[in-house]
Amino acid sequence: MKDAFLYSCGNSPEKFKELIDVARGVAPADLVFRNATYLNVFTGVFETGSIAVKGGVIAGIGDYTGDVEVDCTGKVVCPGLIDGHIHIESSMISPSEFSKAVVPCGTTAVVTDPHEIANVAGTEGIRYMLENSSNLPLDVFFMLPSCVPATPLDESGAILDAYTLRGLYEDPRVLGLAELMNSYGTVRGDDSIVSKILDAKDRGRIVDGHAPGLTGLELNAYVAAGVKSDHECSTASEAIEKLRMGQWIMVREGTAAKNLEALLPLFDDEYFGRCMLVTDDKHPGDILSQGHIDYIIRSAIARGKKPENVIRMATYNTATYFGLTDRGAIAPGYLADLIVVSDLDSFVVEKVYKTGVLVASDHSMCVDIPPFSKGAADFPHVYESFNLKELHSTDFALRENGSKKRVIEMVPGELLTREVIVPAALSRASELAFDGHIVPSPGVETDKDIIKLAVIERHKNRGHVGVGFARGYGIRYGAIASSVAHDSHNLIVAGTNDIDMAVAANAVRSNLGGLAIAVDGEVVCSLPLPLGGLMCDKDAAYVESVLSEMKEQARLMGVPSGIDPFMTLAFTALPVIPKLRILTKGMFDVDTQSYVPALFD
């Protein structure tokens, strides 16, 4: 990682000396934050002083004068906030548009895993994210996707093996190997996973984890393999066990997965030192209305947690874990990535400085971000990612028989699902058995909250359609479709009848990706996501305006307030989080890593 001094002086001895002169008080600073109350992350104590900045770097703290002086009396100055684990694609906007949304929230750096776009477009997708995120008022660091596809049984648009990933480590913004979602394969020494881990370790890079519920000897094996972190803890006891094994814990609070409440003990003195704050996946509306990492800080402080612990978990801890030695603290020699907040209770971010330059004030950007200059000619698989024939209602027929029905039960606020077995007839009063097919009839509301769920392979036109059942999603009529279906991002549809399912799915196909809702054979609303079927080419406000209308329509159809209709739907196709999922070839048991029948005796 490039040293902050080198950022300032560019290897110029003259500029290097200028920084030293400012630090010892014999030359004026470029910028001084006067009378600032700030957190000393090394001692955990709030101190007061004037913070001097020269060439984008903090020169010192003391009695300084500067060309520009900002009076911070009554305010609190903190290091810029860092999100330690996010998939930018899940914000449904490009990296450049994402930066416009999160920088005013005080976020000055994120560590992203581009495995969403990589599952669609391979290394081309990663290159798109690298180029689109360069030269922003937000530092975007990368972890290389470790599981593309998530498991060998999934069908993605690309396969990234260890050899393919090696060249990407040359980029200075690549920090390591992203979440090892295939914990099952990791603890069993899968050759392809071992190769990726060893490549990262040989380069001195870190390896992130993803192992919900892993415990005991298998957890020992996972950590012994070199996996340094986990963001999937849903209970404090699970997190503490992993801490005891030497892992760092990422406390996640996003749109679909909300673990803050359960992990509040981690903010206490005995644990916080090896914990950090992350969002993982967050929709643009939640960022615009709630905030980003600042929202987690406010939430934790409101629950009685020490501000000094919470702030460190959002700054210095994250920087330390990732080896970002030039940021995360207010001290001489650190980058002047600084935020000015109203107070410690409300923690309203008022101003954001990136390397000493004011980039956001009062929740708005102060600098322009030019539009991305490249397009379909440069990234053809990103801009045209659909290879799928038109769908018909018969494509959603379930050709299995049996007296019992296997159902995916969704859990509000969690990514985990449950397996439920019910009598085959117990789903809808209007469900008809026809030639061994389950064909729900349109126009009649469900009575048992059991609906149809399908995933259609959309990358290679393989013709695979997996069909199963779900409970807890809530819709009573119509269908909802999305090309955001973690992690392979095939086309997923949930519906009460096959006709609306086909209509919604075809709308997404026509838009080259996105979301769509169909009722009574008609599309009632849709959001095109033409960038890999994952991201829109417009800003966060536009995406949120359309998305909020679609969420309201989903609520009218019965989706409860505790479930995000699109984020929750997306995760039902992720074959690495227990218990039951739906893939392109049918229902999938994560614990056994095998397909299971939807209907059986």
pLDDT at site 576: 83
- Print the domain residue range for 174: 78-363
Asked whether residue 318 falls in the same domain as residue 397, the answer is: no
**By three-state DSSP, how is residue 439 classified?**
strand
| Contact predicate 388/490, CB 8 Å | no
Q: What are phi and psi of 444, to 5 degrees?
A: -125, 130
Asked whether residue 163 falls in the same domain as residue 311, the answer is: yes
- Identity of residue 33: F
pLDDT at site 2: 52
The CATH number for 273's domain is 3.20.20.140
Q: Cα(459)–Cα(471) distance, rounded to whole angstroms?
A: 28
Asked whether residue 398 falls in the same domain as residue 357, the answer is: no
pLDDT at site 430: 36
Please say which residue of 363, 397, 414 terminates a domain: 363
| Contact predicate 381/125, CB 8 Å | yes
Q: Name the nearest CA neighbour of 128 among 139, 113, 118.
A: 118
pLDDT at site 429: 33
Dihedral over Cα of 164, 252, 233, 207: its sign: positive
Q: How far is CA 15 from CA 12, 61, 63, 389, in A?
A: 5, 19, 22, 61
Q: Cα(471)–Cα(122) distance, rounded to whole angstroms?
A: 33
Asked whether residue 313 falls in the same domain as residue 395, the answer is: no
Asked whether residue 128 falls in the same domain as residue 244, the answer is: yes
* Domain contains 66: no
* Domain contains 7: no
Q: Name the nearest CA neighbour of 254 among 234, 274, 240.
A: 234
pTM of the model: 0.90
Asked whether residue 270 falls in the same domain as residue 408, the answer is: no
pLDDT at site 9: 64
520: left (phi over 0), alpha (psi -120 to 50) or beta: left
Q: Name the nearest CA neighbour of 145 among 195, 102, 179, 105.
A: 179
* Domain contains 531: yes
**By three-state DSSP, how is residue 166 classified?**
helix
Q: How far is CA 64 from CA 32, 83, 436, 521, in A?
A: 7, 32, 81, 69
Residue written as token pair 């673990």: 259
* Domain contains 521: yes
Asked whether residue 463 falls in the same domain as residue 409, the answer is: yes
Asked whether residue 329 falls in the same domain as residue 395, the answer is: no
pLDDT at site 568: 87
Query: What's the pLDDT tens digit per position in 353-408?
Result: 999 999 999 999 999 999 999 999 999 999 999 999 999 999 998 878 888 999 99
Provide the domain count of the chain. 2
Q: Which two tokens stand for residue 215?
A: 């415990």
Asked whether residue 287 falls in the same domain as residue 428, the answer is: no
Question: At CB < 8 A and 24+ separation, what contacts does 316-319 make?
Answer: 316/41, 316/79, 317/248, 317/272, 317/273, 317/274, 317/275, 317/276, 318/82, 318/83, 318/84, 318/111, 318/276, 318/277, 319/82
Asked whether residue 151 falls in the same domain as residue 257, the answer is: yes
* Domain contains 214: yes
Burial category of 340 from C-beta neighbours within 10 Å (exposed 0-12, middle 13-18, buried 19 and up): buried
| Contact predicate 541/289, CB 8 Å | no
Q: Running along the chain, 601 residues long, what does each successive block of 10 average in pLDDT?
A: 58 86 96 96 96 96 95 97 96 96 98 96 97 96 93 90 96 96 90 96 96 95 97 96 98 89 97 97 91 98 98 98 97 97 96 97 94 94 95 90 90 83 63 40 54 96 95 94 95 96 98 97 97 95 96 95 86 90 95 92 90
Query: What's the pLDDT tens digit per position in 223-232?
Result: 999 999 999 9
Asked whether residue 211 falls in the same domain as residue 348, the answer is: yes
* Domain contains 27: no
Asked whether residue 327 falls in the same domain as residue 465, the answer is: no
* Domain contains 20: no
* Domain contains 44: no
Q: Cα(392)–Cα(160) distance, rounded to whole angstroms?
A: 32
For the chain, the first-to-last Cα distance in angstroms comes to 59
